[in-house]
Amino acid sequence: EAWRAAGKPQRASAAASLALALTPQDADLLLERAMARLALGQLPGALVDLDLAVVLDADRTEAWVLRAAAQRRLERLNPAEDSITTALRLAPRNVEALLERGILRQLRGEAEAARRDWERVMELAPDSAAADLAAQNLALMEAGPSQR
């Protein structure tokens, strides 16, 4: 986690891989490596880690949210929808999950549903990074396609 926090995702991934060689069933380490891999754009590898992480710890909301984001970035929208539904079943007020669901809804052409999710994010955690992203998404949606 320290390497990732220091902006060194390559080192974070390598450190997590070394640790996973000793404890391959550690959901925390899998999640850490997945986050590093996401930062590096290594989406298939991140998804493999997240798939195993949710098998090992099915109640881990963060893993489900990250899994949905990876699936979305790989253009696997139906599995992403399933993952985010699971995340929100576990934690209905999780702002990262609501933010991601809004993105998925927008991609599906469900603008009003996306708007509701992003407004909910800003209501639940107005001073958060998720709220900032939700506000940006709303502004882009308001601007329309010609302003993006």
Among residues 60, 92, 124, which one ends one of the domains?
92
Mark whether 70 and 102 lie in a shared domain.
no
The model's pTM is 0.89
Would you state the pLDDT for residue 126? Answer: 97
* Residue 1 to residue 13: CA distance in whole angstroms: 9
Instruction: Determine contact, residues 67/84, Cβ cutoff 8 Å.
Output: no
Question: Domain check: are 128 and 142 in the same one?
Answer: yes
Q: Which of 72, 75, 63 is nearest to 34 (CA)?
A: 63
- Give the count of domains, the chain: 2
- What are the residues whose beta carbons fall under 8 Å from the beta carbon of 49, sequence distance 6 or more? 30, 31, 33, 34, 37
- The confidence score (pLDDT) of residue 144 equals 80
Q: What tokens were used for 37? A: 């891999």
Q: 2 and 59, same structural domain?
A: yes
Give CB contacts under 8 A, 24+ apart, made by 137-145. 137/99, 137/102, 137/103, 137/106, 141/106, 141/111, 141/114, 141/115
Decide which of 45, 66, 92 is a domain's last residue: 92
Start-to-end CA span in the chain (Å)? 34
Residue 17: the pLDDT is 83
Same-domain pairing of 88 and 115: no
Residue 75 main-chain phi, psi, to 5 deg: 65, 35
144 and 115 in a common domain: yes
Largest CA distance in the chain: 51
Q: Which pLDDT value is given to residue 128? A: 97
55 and 87 housed in the same domain: yes
The Cα–Cα gap between 138 and 47 comes to 28
Identify the domain containing residue 63 by its residue range: 1-92
CA 83 to CA 98: how far, in whole Å? 12
Same domain, yes or no, for 106 and 133?
A: yes
Is 88 found in the same domain as 51? Answer: yes
Do both 15 and 50 map to the same domain? yes
- Domain containing residue 61: CATH number: 1.25.40.10
Do 71 and 114 lie in one domain? The reply is no
Q: How confident is the prediction along the chain (148 residues), in pLDDT tens digits per residue?
A: 656 666 677 887 888 888 888 998 999 999 999 999 999 999 999 999 999 999 999 999 999 999 999 999 999 999 999 999 999 999 999 999 999 999 999 999 999 999 999 999 999 999 999 999 999 999 999 888 765 4
